[in-house]
Amino acid sequence: MASANLETTGPSMLPTTAATDRITLPVSELPEHWYNVLADLPVPLAPPIHPGTGQPLGPHDLERIFPPQLIEQEMSAQREIPIPAPVREILAMWRPTPLIRARNLERALGTPARIYFKHEGVSPAGSHKPNTAVPQAYYNSIAGITRLATETGAGQWGSALAFATRMLGMACRVFMVRVSYEQKPYRRTFMRLFGAEVYPSPSPLTNAGRAILAEHPDSPGSLGIAISEAVEEAASRDDTNYSLGSVLNHVLLHQTVIGQEARKQLELVGEEPDFVVGCHGGGSNFGGIALPFMPEVLAGGKLRAVAVEPDSCPTLTRGRFAFDFGDTAKLTPILQMYTLGHDFVPPAVHAGGLRYHGASPIISALVHRGVMDAESVGQSEVFKAAVLFAHSEGIVPAPESAHAIAAVVRKALQLRDEGRQAVILFSLSGHGFFDMAAFDAYLDGKLEDFEYPEHAIATSLARLPKISQ
Ligand SMILES: *Cc1c(COP(=O)(O)O)cnc(C)c1O
Contact (CB, 8 A) for 285 and 353: no
Q: Which of 128-142, 254-268, 341-355, 402-416 has the lowest mean pLDDT?
A: 341-355
pLDDT number for residue 14: 44
pLDDT surpasses 70 at 7: no
* Residue 420 CA, ligand 1 centroid: distance in Å: 30
pLDDT exceeds cutoff 60 at 469: no
**Nearest atom, ligand 1, residue 401 CA:** 11
State the distance from the centre of ligand 1 to the C-alpha of 281, rounded, in angstroms.
6
The model's pLDDT over 269-306, given as tens digits with 9 standing for 90+, comes to: 999 999 999 999 999 999 999 999 999 999 999 999 99
Query: For residue 429, how far is its CA from the centre of ligand 1 (angstroms)?
Result: 6
Q: Was domain 12-32+85-126+250-461 assigned CATH 3.10.20.600?
A: no
Q: What pLDDT is recorded for position 75?
A: 93
Number of CB atoms found within 10 A of residue 323's CB: 21
| Ligand 1 atom index nearest CA of 127 | 13
State the amino acid at position 306 in one-letter form. V
CA of 4 to the centre of ligand 1 (A): 30
Ligand 1 nearest-atom number relative to CA 288: 9
CA of 469 to the centre of ligand 1 (A): 31
Cα of 10 vs centre of ligand 1, distance in Å, is 31
Q: Ligand 1, from 122, 152, 156: best to mutate by most atoms within 8 Å of Cβ?
A: 156
pLDDT for residue 349: 62
Residue to mutate, 119, 120, 246, ligand 1, most ligand atoms under 8 Å from C-beta: 246
pLDDT at position 13: 47
Q: Give distance in angstroms: CA of 129 to centre of ligand 1.
A: 7
Give the pLDDT score at 59: 77
156 CA closest ligand 1 atom index: 15
Ligand 1 centroid – CA 119 distance (Å): 13
Per-residue model confidence (pLDDT) at position 3? 40
Q: Pick the residue whose CA is nearest to atom 13 on ligand 1.
A: 430
pLDDT at 4: 39
Q: Where are the domains of the chain?
A: 12-32+85-126+250-461
* pTM of the shown model: 0.94
- The per-residue pLDDT for 11 is 44
* Spatial separation of the C-alpha atoms in residues 404 and 128, rounded to whole Å: 14
Q: Which atom of ligand 1 is nearest to the CA of 160?
A: 15
Burial environment of residue 430 by CB neighbours within 10 A (0 to 12, 13 to 18, 19 or more): buried
* Residues of the chain above pLDDT 90, percent: 79
Return the amino acid letter for 142. Answer: I
Q: pLDDT tier at 468 (50, 70, 90 boundaries)? A: low
Ligand 1 atom with least separation from CA of 287: 9
**Which residue is closest in CA terms to ligand 1's atom 10?**
400
Percentage of the chain surpassing pLDDT 70? 95
Mean pLDDT of all residues in 151-160: 94
Lowest mean pLDDT among 22-36, 56-70, 135-149, 203-217: 56-70
What does pLDDT average to over the chain?
A: 92
Q: pLDDT digits over 232-281, tens only?
A: 999 999 999 999 999 999 999 999 999 999 999 999 999 999 999 999 99
DSSP 411-459: HHHHHHHHT---EEEEEE-BB-TT-HHHHHHHHTT-----PPPHHHHHH
Residues within 6 Å of ligand 1 by CB: 127, 129, 156-157, 246, 279-286, 354, 398, 400-401, 429-430
Name the residue of 119, 127, 157, 308 whose CB sits within 8 Å of the most ligand 1 atoms, as the mutation to test its pocket.
127
Ligand 1 centroid distance, CA of 462 (Å): 28
Residue 131 reports pLDDT greater than 80: yes
- Ligand 1 atom closest to the CA of 153, numbered from 1: 1
CA distance 328 to 357: 10
From atom 7 of ligand 1, which residue's Cα is the shortest distance away? 284
Distance 54 CA to ligand 1 centre (A): 30
Q: What is the pLDDT of residue 17?
A: 53
Task: Specify the pLDDT at position 18.
Answer: 60
Residue 2's pLDDT band, with cuts at 50, 70 and 90, is: very low
- Which of 188, 101, 172 is CA-nearest to residue 140? 172
pLDDT at 9: 42
pLDDT confidence bin for 1, thresholds 50/70/90: very low
CA of 14 to the centre of ligand 1 (A): 35
Asked if the model's pLDDT at residue 407 lies above 80, the reply is yes
| Residue 451 one-letter amino acid | E
- Give 161 Cα–ligand 1 centroid separation in angstroms: 14
CA-to-CA distance for 327 and 331, rounded, in angstroms? 7
The string of DSSP codes covering 190-242 is HHHHTT-EEEEES-TTSHHHHHHHHH-TT----HHHHHHHHHHHHHT-TTEEE
Report how far residue 439's alpha carbon sits from residue 447's, in angstroms, rounded to the nearest whole number: 9
pLDDT digits (tens, 9 = 90+) for 349-402: 666 778 788 999 999 999 999 999 999 999 999 999 999 999 999 999 999 999
Region 56-63: mean pLDDT is 87
The yes-or-no verdict on residue 10 having pLDDT over 70 is no
What stretches of 261-346 adopt beta strand conformation (E)? Answer: 275-279, 304-310, 320-325, 334-339
